[in-house]
Amino acid sequence: MADKKENLNRKKISGAIAEDRPQPHNLEAEKAVIAAMLREPHPCVDIAIELLHNEEVFYSHIHREIFKTVTEIYNNTEMSVDLISIAHQLAKNGKLEDIGGEVFLAELYGSISTTVNIETWCGIVHEFSILRNMINVCSESLLKCYDVESDVKELVDEIETKIYDVRNKNTKSDIVEIRDSIVESFKHIKKILDKEVEVGIPSGFPDLDKLVIGFKPGEMFVLAARPSIGKTSLALNFIRNVALRGGRPRPVAFFSLEMTAEQITRRLLCTEAKISETSFFDGSFKPAEWTRLTPVVDLFRKTKIFIDPTGGLTISELRAKARRLKMMEKIELIVIDYLQLMHSGDKTESRQQEVADISSGIKRLAKDLSIPILVLAQLNREVEKTAGASARPKLSHLRESGAIEQDADIVAFLHRDRDETKNKSLSKEEMKNGVDALLIVEKNRNGQTGTVDLQFFPHRMEFVNKSKFGDEDRPPEKFE
C-alpha cells in the first residue's frame, strides 16, 4: 500500500513538472526589452544590465543570445550598438541564422514605439525568471525528499538555502553593518569640514539655505501653496539660481505637467532680464529693453536645463526619463510641477492611495539617483474656507494625502496674506519694492524649521531674499 501511494505521488509530481509543459514566461515583455536596447542603447542597455544582470533571465534562447551579443558590443568601446554591428557579431559567432537572421532583428527593432516602459518590462522578465528558478529548485527538492537515505536536517537546510538563493539572486542587500560604513562616514565628514564637498546645492536664497543647507542628494523637498500664490515662479527661481549661479552651472530637469516648454522658457528669460512677460502682449515692451533681453538669451543658451512638458506623467515614465537624464546629462536636481497632476499608472482603490504611491515613488527615485527632487504640491482649498485666505498653511492642509508629509524630507509652504496682484492694482511703490511673502519650513527631517521672509515682484514673477534685498536688486524700469 505504501509503495502504491509513493508511486502515485511521484506521478503527480511528474505531471506538475512535465517537460512538455512550458514554464512561466512572457515573450512579449522579453521582446520589448530587447527592442528597447536596439532602438535606444543609451540608456536602455544600462537599465537592462542593472535590472536583469545577464541573459539567463530570458526564457527564449533567441532573446538570450541577442541580449548577450548586445551587451558584449555595448561594453566594447570600439563598437556601436546598431543592427549592422549586432548582425555582424551574431554571424561571426555562428548564431545569426539560429535567431532568425537580419529580418528577425529588423522586425524586433520595429516592435515597439517607445522605450519609456523598459523598467516595467524588465520587472516582468525578472519576475518570471524567479518563478522558473523556483520551479526548478522545488522540483529537485521534491524528488530529493523521496530519498529516504538523505539526512533530513541537512536536506532541509539545503532546500532552504537554495530557495533563499532564488529569492535573493541578483538582489543587492540593503543591510550594512556599522563597522563597514563608519570609516567612510568619517571620511565624508572630514571632506565636508575641509570644504572639499558641499552638503547641498545652494538654492540662491541665503536664509533658506541656513535652515535646510540647500538641496541635498537623496532628499525629497516639497514646496506647497494655494493656487496662484507663486509656487511655480519660486520653483523657476530655484532652477535659474541652480543652473546659473552657485559657483558653477548645474544640469537641472524640470517636469512641468501644466505649462509648455515655450511658456517656461519665456518666464525664465523675463525673470532674469527683469522684464514683465505681459509687455510682449499688451504693447508696452520698449525697444530699449532688448539690451537686457539679448544677453540673457545668450546666458541661458549655455545652461543645461531640460524641460519635459508631458501632461499626465506617470511615476514609471518619470523614473525612466530621470534615469536617462542622470546617466546621459548628469543632472543634479529634478523639479516636478506638480505632484497632484501625476498618475501612478496602476489601478488603485482611491485617489489618496494613488497620490501616496506617487509620493513614495518620488522619494525612492531621489534615493536611487542620489539627487534632490523638488516637488510642488497643491494645498487643500479647505484652508481658505475654514480659516480664510490669510491663514498660515499647516501640514494637514496638504491636498489628498498625508503620505506626502511622511515621505518628504522637507516641507515648505509659500504663503502670502492675500493674492494682492488679483485683489487690487499695485501702486508704483509696490511695483518697485515688491510685496511681502513668507516661506514656512514646516518640516525638516535633518535640520531645523523656521520661516524665510521673501519679497515678490509680480510683474517679473521673481522672489528675492528679503533680508538681502537692496537697491541693486530693484528693477531698473520705471512704472508710470
- Active-site residue list: 258
Q: Are strands 333-337 and 220-225 parallel, antiparallel or unpaired?
A: unpaired
Return the C-alpha cell found at 43: 540608456
Contact 343, 313 (CB under 8 A): yes
Return the C-alpha cell found at 59: 526564457
- CB within 8 Å of 124: residues ≥ 6 apart: 26, 29
Strand spans (E) along 333-469: 333-337, 373-378, 410-415, 435-444, 450-457, 462-465
Q: How far apart are CA 352 and CA 335, in angstroms?
A: 22
Contact 422, 459 (CB under 8 A): no
| HSE toward the beta carbon, residue 417, CA cutoff 13 A | 5
Give yes or no for a cis peptide into 43 (omega within 30° of 0).
yes
H-only helix segments in 330-466: 351-369, 382-387, 403-407, 420-423, 428-433
131 backbone dihedrals φ, ψ, rounded to 5°: -60, -45
Q: How far apart are CA 125 and CA 109, in angstroms?
A: 18
Give yes or no for a cis peptide into 74 (omega within 30° of 0).
no
- CB within 8 Å of 36: residues ≥ 6 apart: 44, 48, 112, 115, 118, 121
Which of 451, 440, 475 shows the shortest CA–CA distance to 461? Answer: 475
Q: How far apart are CA 120 and CA 33, in angstroms?
A: 9
Which residue type, as a one-letter code, is found at position 58? F
Query: Which is it for the CA torsion 36, 37, 41, 46, positive or negative?
Result: positive
167 backbone dihedrals φ, ψ, rounded to 5°: -65, -35
Angle at 446 between CA 444 and CA 451, to 5 degrees: 35
Strand partners of residue 256 = 337
